[in-house]
Structure 1
């Protein structure tokens, strides 16, 4: 029945990037209509402009609240915040677009907190534009955490054959190593276990990366970081019945995980976890923030200013993000 489908708010992200285009293209997929009641949170005039790049013939209907959306197949409902000029330059860093991207997300979080939508799916924002627009955050994840009052959370990347969850994300490598501690590593291991268990994976197999090359190789590399920061967390998790192994060398672990030896990999820092996912293809990855009181999924690519306005941006990652938002959303 129509009412059984979750309501998904899709934020437009940075309107100078490919977000408006991939949103329009996503609504051409039957999957979106068959599995969800999805609408856009953004600027309707920007969506209208993007129709000329994508060839979309769908009507853009302006709404002021999700309750006004009709979710008709040939129409895209847009909760229109009306923040941007129709002639916003495409493919350029813009403080106005950065501020608007923040406001779209803040509106979506407010609706999710009030349980007026079941999940948020985000198109990409540009970190430079976001900060020039007056919002000093490293990215979506940190905004979501602050506006939901969440202190502990993690970024999970999901591709068809590989899932990765991160101990640290948007910090420099030296800061990342300093931030890693047994409490945080254990929290992320347990979060991985709980997330996959709720998704229906019984006794999920979890692998934990080392910090140093070859996971330190018994003290040969580094200064004992594995023994100090990682091993105690793994031992605690095993004692609680979690199926976890490590620390394991990252240079072979992701191959093993993709082969099927593990259900998810715990990565220690941003590039350790992101690079293997992105090698599989930017269109395949989905970014999921876990540990929040609301569901949020996202594309795992940037604003692609270099191709914005050309109509060639691939929408597959957004379609997959929407699919996973539907799977994770609470059922009405």
Structure 2
């Protein structure tokens, strides 16, 4: 009997110490949300917010297979590397196109965000486009595990975007999210924490850049690169008629003479160039609305459409969608970070759903 009492006393003494040890270990391990985008990767850490935002570009030596640069440093190399060094985007249209390079890139970004002083592997939540296949989803999961995650959760981009935009998705009412990234645009109607109707189209920010490159080649016989097209899009790009015409000087190579040439490009010309990809996004929004149950459609009509993602920053997109659908359209407060914030908040909820009640 004395032995039993002694054991119980030891257990009671050790329990607070073990609980404190577990609490400290939890603090030392990070919960990470990753927005694995075609154009850029954002990393969200619990309690710190978005700590890292870099282009999802890797530069490596083709001869030795050695990685030379990752992120912003690699992006600056696009179109400016010698033959043996290649700057690539290992993610195409929201999914992994080069598994090995993606794994190394993820490992680099996780280590950079968390730091080396971590005692436990982090729990990671990664977002994927809404229409990905099981094989593509598994590839993302495996690459994240190989990059050093302790556990991996997968969330669909529109759900993460809605959470990051501050929408209470748990309520039984319809919310429409249009998330325009670099490689894909995800359109979804969300209610009671899940997707009711959704579609994912491979038309997004990169296609806007390509449309400008094609327009320049066709109308001005001028060859420009991806970075120049992106700069034009960000500075004067529009997909809705503007009262004031903005201009920008563009340098490229004349396709007739083969010599460098500078032209003045106007915002009206970007309107013409971007009309086709912008209308494809509007058509996708229209098709999702057609398939939405009437009760939820009524909610969306009252609450409006919310735009997230870097592509949502394109001038005139709000007005174009509003004009074509008749539903008020607004851009989230921080559209670039909305998916990363939502992914991070989702993993916080998954790993500690009753935290508030226990504390």
Taking structure 1 as the reference length, the TM-score comes to 0.29
Highest Rg: 1 or 2?
Answer: 2
The structure with the largest strand share of the pair is 2
